[in-house]
Every structure is written in structure tokens, then in C-alpha cells.
Structure 1
Amino acid sequence: MELRQLRYFLAVAEHLHFTEAAAHLGIAQPPLSQQILKLEREIGTALFVRHPRRVELTEAGHLLRDSARRILDDAQQALVEAQNAGRGETGRLSLGFAGSTVFHPAVASTMQQFRQTYERVAISCEESNSVALLEKVSARQIDAALVRMPLNCGELAVEPLVDEAMLAVLPGGHRLSRRRRIDLADLAGDPLIIFPRAIGPNLYDSIISACHAAGFTPSISMESPQISSAANLVSAGFGVAVVPASMRQVQVEGVSHHELKGKPLATGIALVHRQRERSPAVLNFVRILRQQRAAMRRA
């Protein structure tokens, strides 16, 4: 039994006339009659009582009509669901976030646009440090991750989202707290709070290298568990810190943020995913991210 035969059968069952059913289907009447006869032979019983000008359903025909409608409806629904999944309009997407990335407006706008466009995709989120997230993407434990750059991503594909400057964070009452812009060299005598190198070795090294270029070797007083927690330690009086500009979004009392003069010290946020990715949901997220990046560049 073929779905085509069921469609032909339903057309005849609804019109109760072979010629009218054939016209509705857009086929000639003889092939329609042949398919109905073939179906009846396969089932082993008549589905219609033939009269000179019309037909009527047998008891078996009535039963098959109801079942055929359900079968064709289910087949159509299965087709639509498969098409939606193939376009990434349904399904699941597991995303990782480096803790410091969630404060940047570009990340929020990308997530919002994706959810609005693909509202039937279930998103699961996981927060960790950038290095751990790279390992999870490579091991297929998550689909993709938004990480803090610079970062050695190995063989993973990298989609940059946004770049941002690094700012100095000073405690209240610091001698430089009234200046909008300061030289990194002005912080040579201050203890530095920085995140552990293991969670972002490239960014860590770029901060230390910038200090060396400014003429001093920083005295590291304490390591913050995450980039996002550095301002809290500054507020507690443990030293000064250098953080991404979006960390201003974290409202911490007793600290001030300052632009750095001279050669820019910058970081970035990027999406990493596996090369030759086939997941429609991941590819759609990449497309939305590219649209957001282009929109920011035009602004």
C-alpha cells in the first residue's frame, strides 16, 4: 500500500465519483480506477459499490477512509517536522559561555535574535572558562561556545563577534581615580589582580607583555577565579586589575574604570565550533552571529 493510493482512495471517497475525483487529482480517470482496483486487490475486499453514475463506500471503505485520513495527516506532519529539523527550525543547541562574555551587549543581542528567529529550538547553556569550553566543543560535549580571545583554538572554526578594549579597574580613593585615561606604566607600583593563566593563557600573556612594554614587571597580588570577579577583589582592596570594557556592566561599588593610553590592549569575543559543522541549528547560529557582527560594523 502506497501513500499515493491512499490519496487516490480519499479523493474518490470524498467525491463519490471517479471522474470528479480524477479531475480533482489532476489525472485521467482510467489510471485512478486502476489504482483503486489494485488497492482493493491488495486489501482483499471491495472499498466501493459501483453504480452507473456514482459510487458509495462499503463498510470496509468507511473504515479505511477514517484510517487513511489519519495516516496521511501523520505523514504530512512527519514531513513538516523533518523539513523544520533540516532547516534548523527545531531541535536542540548546546552553547558554552566564558563567564566574561555574557556582559557584552553583542552577546545578548545575538542570543535574542536567534531565539526570536528559531523559537522552537531548545537551547541549553553552560558557563566555564574558555580553555575548558574548547575541550568540550572538541569532545562533542557541547555544540559551540562563546569564548574570550585571544585564544589558541587549534582545529576548531572561529567566528569573531566583537572586539573591545581593556580597561584598568582601580579601587576607591586611588591616586589616579579622577583621571579618565591613564598610562599602564602609572600602575607599576600597584599590586595586580589577574585571572589564572590556565583559563586564558593568550590573554594573560598579552596583559603581562603590555606591562613589560610599559617598562615594569607586575607584582601579582592575587588571582581572581574568573575575569568577571576581578572587580570585586579590587573593591576589597587587594590591588588593581585590567579587564574587558564590557565588565563595566558589572555594578561593583568602590571601583572606577579607566581607559588605557598608548598602544591599545584589546580582547575579543568569538564563537568556536567544529570544522565542517553539519548541524542546522549551529549553522543558523553562525549566520545570526555574522548578521550581528555586520550590523555593529555598520553602526
Structure 2
Amino acid sequence: MELRHLRYFVAVAEELHFGRAAERLHMAQPPLSHQIRQFEEELGVTLLHRSTRKVELTVAGAVYLERARSILQAVDAANRDATRAAAGEIGELSIGFTGSATYELLPGVTRILRAELPRVSLTVKGEMLTPAQVDGLRDGTLDIGLLRPPVHDPELTVHIVRTEPLIAALPEAHPLARNDAVRLADLRDEPFITYPSHFRSVVHDAVLDACREVGFRPRDVTEVSETSTLVTFIAAGLGVAVVPASVRRLEIPGAVYRPLAATTREVELALAFRAGDPDPLLQRVIARLHRFLGGPRPQRTRGDRH
């Protein structure tokens, strides 16, 4: 049995006339009649009663018509889906977001992708540190990461999409919160709330580098993994923090943000994905994210942690 036999039979069964069915199928009537008889012989069932005046479905033919229609509809749907998949319009995709990008970018990215690719099953994972995203990209649980470079893995492609300054996050009641800007050196005696150390957070290292440049190293440090927890601790008066400017999107009563005066330290945000992955959906989403976020620029090749 071939799909064309099903299409021939459905055309004749719906038209109940070989001539009209042949016109619909853009073929001559004799070959169509021959194909239907051959089809019935192969099935061992009579599907159509023929006379000089009319064509009628048998009971078996009526049952077969419904099943044949369902099969052809399923095949047509599969063909459409295959075409859409090849164009990167359907499929599944998982995106990880670093802490600060969770609050600034996750809503916009999700809104754009759901509007433009409604048939894509999208999974988003926020508050992921760079090492966890790299692991996810390696093992396939993530397809795209929005993370803080550098990433030293030859199996991943990393594109810088934006650079942002560091800012101060302070309790609202802190004396320096009244200032338009804060000098980092004025925070030397403050307890610091930071992201994790031990090479788990690029921002942690950038903050320590910035403090070192103005002559101190924070002595009283509390480490937290999630940006929301970090800002909540600040709002509770447990310390101060230096964070990427995008953290300002996370508004928690009791915490305020101020620019850092005379400090040029910045951190980068990058798109990361498996190098050479040909998935058309992945490539389509990466191109769309570049239009939304900017870039691409290659990450720096030197070994510092920026």
C-alpha cells in the first residue's frame, strides 16, 4: 500500500464519480479506475459498488474512508511540522540566565520568543551561575546560556552581547544612600554581601578586583548564590554589595542602588551555546537574541576573569 492509493480512494469516495475524482487528482480516468481495483485486490475488500449510473461506498468503504482521511491528515500535519522544524519554527529549547539577567532580560526574552515562536516549547532557568550554565550546556540540559564570561571550553561558542558597570547596593537607611553616587573606597569598613567565591562567580572576582584597585579587601563577607537573596539581605541591613547595573531591575523595599564614582570596572554578559550545533531552531533563536541584546562580539582570549 502506498499513500497515493489512499489519496486516490479518498478522492473517489468523496466525489462518488471517477471522472470528477480524476480531474481533482489531475490524472486520466482509466489509470485511476485501475489503481482503485488494484488497491481493493490488495486489501481483499470491496470498497466501492460501481454501476453504469453511479458509484457508492460499501459498508467497508465507509469505514475505510474515515480511517484514510485521518491517516492523510496526520501525514499532511507531519509534513508541515517537518517543514517548520527545518525552518526553526517548532521544537524544544532551554535557556539559562545568570542572576542579574534573570530580572532584566528573562521577561523580555520570554515574551519575544513566545510571540514569534508560539509552537516552541520554551524552558527558562533563572539565577544560574556561570559554572552551572556551562555544565548544562555540556550535558544538554541547556541549549543557550546568558552568562558572565570568560568561559574556557572549546566545545562552546561565546558571544559578548553587552557590557555593564558595577553599582553599589545599599540599605535604604545607610548614610551613603543619600548621595547621588558612592565612592567604592567609602565602603571599605562595611560588611559585604557577595556572590560565591572559589571561581564560581565572575562578578565576585570583579568586585574583589575593583576593591583591590582602591586599596582594600572586604573583611566581613557573606556569600549568597541568588541575586534575590543578596538584595533581600541588603534591604534587611545586613551589609552592602557591589553588583552589575542590571540588578537595579530587582526592586525590593529597603534596598537602594547608587552609581559608583571614579570606578570604571565593568562586567560582560554573553550568549553561550554548543559550538557547531546545526539545530535550525537554535540558530534562529540565537539570531533573534542578537537582534534583541546586541552583539555578537568574541570574548577576550586572555585569561583574566574581568
| TM-score in terms of structure 1 length | 0.83
2:208 alignment partner in structure 1? 208
Question: Could you say if the C-alpha distance between residues 100 and 226 of structure 1 is closer, same or farther in structure 2, counting changes exceeding 3 Å?
Answer: farther
Distance, in Å, in 2 between the alignment partners of 1:172 and 1:281 is 45
SS at 1:286 equivalent:
helix
Question: Could you say if the C-alpha distance between residues 59 and 263 of structure 1 is closer, same or farther in structure 2, counting changes exceeding 3 Å?
Answer: same
Question: Could you say if the C-alpha distance between residues 83 and 271 of structure 1 is closer, same or farther in structure 2, counting changes exceeding 3 Å?
Answer: same
Distance, in Å, in 1 between the alignment partners of 2:17 and 2:250 is 73
1:198 alignment partner in structure 2? 198
Distance, in Å, in 2 between the alignment partners of 1:13 and 1:151 is 65
SS at 1:196 equivalent:
coil
Query: Are the counterparts in 2 of residues 167 and 258 from structure 1 also a CA contact under 8 Å?
Result: yes
Question: Could you say if the C-alpha distance between residues 197 and 55 of structure 1 is closer, same or farther in structure 2, counting changes exceeding 3 Å?
Answer: same
Query: Are the counterparts in 1 of residues 129 and 201 from structure 2 also a CA contact under 8 Å?
Result: no
Query: Are the counterparts in 2 of residues 221 and 238 from structure 1 also a CA contact under 8 Å?
Result: no
Query: Are the counterparts in 2 of residues 134 and 153 from structure 1 also a CA contact under 8 Å?
Result: no
1:103 alignment partner in structure 2? 103
2:270 alignment partner in structure 1? 270
For residue 163 of structure 1, report the CA deviation from its aligned partner.
2.8
2:222 alignment partner in structure 1? 223
1:165 alignment partner in structure 2? 165
Letter in 2 for 1:258: R
For residue 138 of structure 1, report the CA deviation from its aligned partner.
0.8
For residue 243 of structure 1, report the CA deviation from its aligned partner.
0.7
Q: For 1:37-59, what per-residue CA distance to the aligned partner results, in whole angstroms no more than 9, with x for missing partners?
A: 32122123444344345433344
For residue 190 of structure 1, report the CA deviation from its aligned partner.
3.7
Residue 129 of structure 2 is aligned to residue 143 of structure 1: no
Residue 65 of structure 2 is aligned to residue 65 of structure 1: yes
After TM superposition, the structure 1 stretch with the greater mean CA deviation from structure 2, 200-209 or 135-144, is 200-209
1:116 alignment partner in structure 2? 115
For residue 201 of structure 1, report the CA deviation from its aligned partner.
4.3
Question: Could you say if the C-alpha distance between residues 10 and 172 of structure 1 is closer, same or farther in structure 2, counting changes exceeding 3 Å?
Answer: closer
Query: Are the counterparts in 1 of residues 193 and 224 from structure 2 also a CA contact under 8 Å?
Result: no
For residue 109 of structure 1, report the CA deviation from its aligned partner.
0.9
Query: Are the counterparts in 1 of residues 138 and 274 from structure 2 also a CA contact under 8 Å?
Result: yes
2:292 alignment partner in structure 1? 292
Distance, in Å, in 1 between the alignment partners of 2:70 and 2:191 is 73
SS at 2:291 equivalent:
helix
For residue 68 of structure 1, report the CA deviation from its aligned partner.
1.9
For residue 219 of structure 1, report the CA deviation from its aligned partner.
2.3
* Runs of 5+ unmatched residues, structure 1: none
Question: Could you say if the C-alpha distance between residues 29 and 275 of structure 1 is closer, same or farther in structure 2, counting changes exceeding 3 Å?
Answer: same
Distance, in Å, in 1 between the alignment partners of 2:219 and 2:62 is 84
Letter in 2 for 1:118: L
Taking the TM superposition and a 5 Å limit, the aligned residue runs for 1:11-30 are 11-30=11-30
Q: For 1:117-138, what per-residue CA distance to the aligned partner results, in whole angstroms no more than 9, with x for missing partners?
A: 2233333333432211211221
Q: For 1:97-143, what per-residue CA distance to the aligned partner results, in whole angstroms no more than 9, with x for missing partners?
A: 32332111x33211111112223333333343221121122122333
Query: Are the counterparts in 2 of residues 169 and 256 from structure 1 also a CA contact under 8 Å?
Result: yes
Letter in 1 for 2:289: L
Query: Are the counterparts in 2 of residues 168 and 242 from structure 1 also a CA contact under 8 Å?
Result: yes
Distance, in Å, in 1 between the alignment partners of 2:45 and 2:192 is 88
1:251 alignment partner in structure 2? 251
SS at 2:7 equivalent:
helix
Q: For 1:3-59, what per-residue CA distance to the aligned partner results, in whole angstroms no more than 9, with x for missing partners?
A: 111111222222232222111111122322232232122123444344345433344
Distance, in Å, in 1 between the alignment partners of 2:100 and 2:199 is 12
1:234 alignment partner in structure 2? 234
Letter in 1 for 2:112: Q
1:7 alignment partner in structure 2? 7
Taking the TM superposition and a 5 Å limit, the aligned residue runs for 1:124-139 are 124-127=123-126, 128-139=128-139
Letter in 1 for 2:99: G
For residue 237 of structure 1, report the CA deviation from its aligned partner.
4.2
SS at 1:21 equivalent:
helix
1:261 alignment partner in structure 2? 261
Distance, in Å, in 1 between the alignment partners of 2:82 and 2:293 is 30
For residue 198 of structure 1, report the CA deviation from its aligned partner.
3.3
Letter in 1 for 2:98: A
| TM-score in terms of structure 2 length | 0.81
Distance, in Å, in 1 between the alignment partners of 2:231 and 2:47 is 79
SS at 1:176 equivalent:
helix
